Structure 1
């Protein structure tokens, strides 16, 4: 048996023979998969025959926009974390460290494409044109969503682990059905339907869920125009990735019969190029693609988590040296694409965005928990009534305790 790199180069899928960087790794090959990287940790750009053309086609303004988007998302993340700590949000899911994976993939999508996020795709939300303040309605507990998915082709956040991958496959199958129906009805009608693809975001933890397996089976069986985008941030809450899989996640692609690409998830240029390639592959009728973006969750899984309980500080520090914003800033400065004035403006824009998000959040009503009980089912349900009675009793216990303390002080 050959090496992982040889298998990636030689396997033929659907008549396609990808290059060394774009291969389907044989499911029985154990080892390290080749990783696409265009921008190293020092901000030095490297050439790749398959992916460099995607970056060469970009304007300087677009490349600067990648940095701006990443910086804006990081500033938003800091503000949302502060709001949660101040009691304005019930919970927050930080994204620090994963900005390149999200902005690179989100900016690669076309308007007709559709994204199915988890609960951490704040950068993709920005790339799709959402008002970031709308994301916080969910985390304040006043909405089950906060935005209309149809306006930006960005689905509601999914809190049920991996469920969005099933939804994404169904939507992608629907795209194929619409195109086929239009062609049958009128050969000219198909021309007004833009070829589109779907991106299903999920994490390395979700990759262990049966939903992901079922999604990939259906996607390849029905040749769905879908890109599975896994942000492998190395930790499924407190479980390291090596406990979930003994081989790179991208190796699984071959078992389902789809191309698999492993990319440096902290390199925004590489992520953009790889996602562009994958989306073109999907839109052109060649079926799904699996992308594994290797990145790292610098912060906690959520604001209810304490990562110091399960991982070493040295590991975090090693990944901070690979910071996607720092390497992009180095690249922009070295190439003369941005100066101090640009970076100061980005900081100013981030502060303005944060002020807008804070003002919008503070203006929101508080969550009405009784309304949540009332909307679990369409009609009254005895179990829900029992749970509400328990909650009323629990809430009243605090008032009783406060009264006893007050009486004790008066005595």
Structure 2
């Protein structure tokens, strides 16, 4: 067979609107955001960075259980959630707690989840989120199912899901994209490509030219975004949400980002990342980058950053105290929380502990 029949990898260009120096380099793609919205995005990013730093300390003190650091990925997380409506549904992986909190989950419940408490999974009425999925990629299927529900009910809502570059190699990922493509579902598949699937570099866990290219096989729209540019992330997700609401089908968004901290509190990044690499990405810090842009517009100052940091520290202190004061779990209580009416097997188990 001649090479003219072969499908070849084509270049993909990541959407960037604001440069690492805080300059607008793509005016044509600049989204329509008010000054107040821009400041709120910055507030959320600074708050999230401070919360993350405090949570790492809490984890090392033994006051939290499993915790996955997020510093460096604030633009990806905050920018994407900010583009949603509250009626949209968020299906996260285990690193995506910021999206849940900004979508309405109380912070103390995020801490309860980390502590393994059942009440951490009791989603308040009207908060359209699932709890973080530990099984890599399983949440992508959940989002597809929710998106199908929206379509069947005639709802103008979207379901968004997040995974990492490693998650894009899971079978669930391909099944979800294929199903969503066939039925043109209002789903947004976000892959936060931070360069590593735990310790495995992107080049070692897929031969694909990019994650965005994987949309081609599913017959859906695929885009790549500079994940250190919060405005670009917002633009891409807002556009994908509008397409979903209008019946134009799903979108796969590859967000190129970088986590400055370890994969988890048991990880050691010095074993697989170089100081040069970390320094290169540090120059692209999303908070410094967006802060420079806002300062040039007279919308943000160092005093504003200090104020938000104090606000975040106070909030973390208040909510961890509330989490620690929550009544301890019991086996009968856990059984009662599983179903509205316990199954015969659960009733029997509960009786054994009575």
Q: 1:338 is matched with which residue: 300, 309, 328? A: 300
Where does 1:257-296 land on structure 2 (aligned, <5 Å)?
257-296=219-258
Cα deviation, residue 313, structure 1:
2.5
Q: 2:216 is matched with which residue: 251, 254, 258? A: 254
Where does 1:2-401 land on structure 2 (aligned, <5 Å)?
28-30=7-9, 32-49=11-28, 51-52=29-30, 54=31, 57-143=32-118, 145-148=120-123, 150-179=125-154, 193=155, 195-246=156-207, 247-365=209-327
Query: Which secondary structure does the structure 2 equivalent of 1:66 belong to?
Result: helix
Query: Which secondary structure does the structure 2 equivalent of 1:202 belong to?
Result: strand
Deviations 1:308-341 (A, max 9, x none): 2222222222211111001111111112112343
After superposition, the Cα gap between the structure-2 partners of 1:356 and 1:289, relative to the gap in structure 1 and judged at 3 Å, is same
| Unpaired segments ≥5 residues, structure 2 | 1-5, 350-354
Cα deviation, residue 59, structure 1:
1.2
Aligned partners of 2:81 and 2:103 also within 8 Å = yes
1:183 alignment partner in structure 2: none
Query: Which secondary structure does the structure 1 equivalent of 2:213 belong to?
Result: helix
TM-score (norm 1): 0.77
Cα deviation, residue 73, structure 1:
0.9
| Cα RMSD (Å) | 2.4
Question: Within 2, Cα distance between the matches of 1:213 and 1:157?
Answer: 20
Query: Which secondary structure does the structure 2 equivalent of 1:120 belong to?
Result: coil
Aligned partners of 2:228 and 2:286 also within 8 Å = yes
Question: Within 2, Cα distance between the matches of 1:314 and 1:239?
Answer: 18
Q: How many residue pairs get matched? A: 338
Query: Which secondary structure does the structure 2 equivalent of 1:65 belong to?
Result: helix
Aligned partners of 1:100 and 1:271 also within 8 Å = yes
Cα deviation, residue 373, structure 1:
10
TM-score (norm 2): 0.89
Aligned partners of 1:266 and 1:295 also within 8 Å = yes
Question: Within 2, Cα distance between the matches of 1:176 and 1:337?
Answer: 40
Question: Within 1, Cα distance between the matches of 2:344 and 2:133?
Answer: 24
After superposition, the Cα gap between the structure-2 partners of 1:149 and 1:375, relative to the gap in structure 1 and judged at 3 Å, is closer
Question: Within 2, Cα distance between the matches of 1:292 and 1:158?
Answer: 19
Question: Within 2, Cα distance between the matches of 1:153 and 1:373?
Answer: 24
Aligned partners of 2:118 and 2:334 also within 8 Å = no
Deviations 1:49-99 (A, max 9, x none): 3x32x2xx2111110111110111111111211111111122211111101
Bigger Rg, structure 1 or 2? 1
Query: Which secondary structure does the structure 2 equivalent of 1:40 belong to?
Result: coil
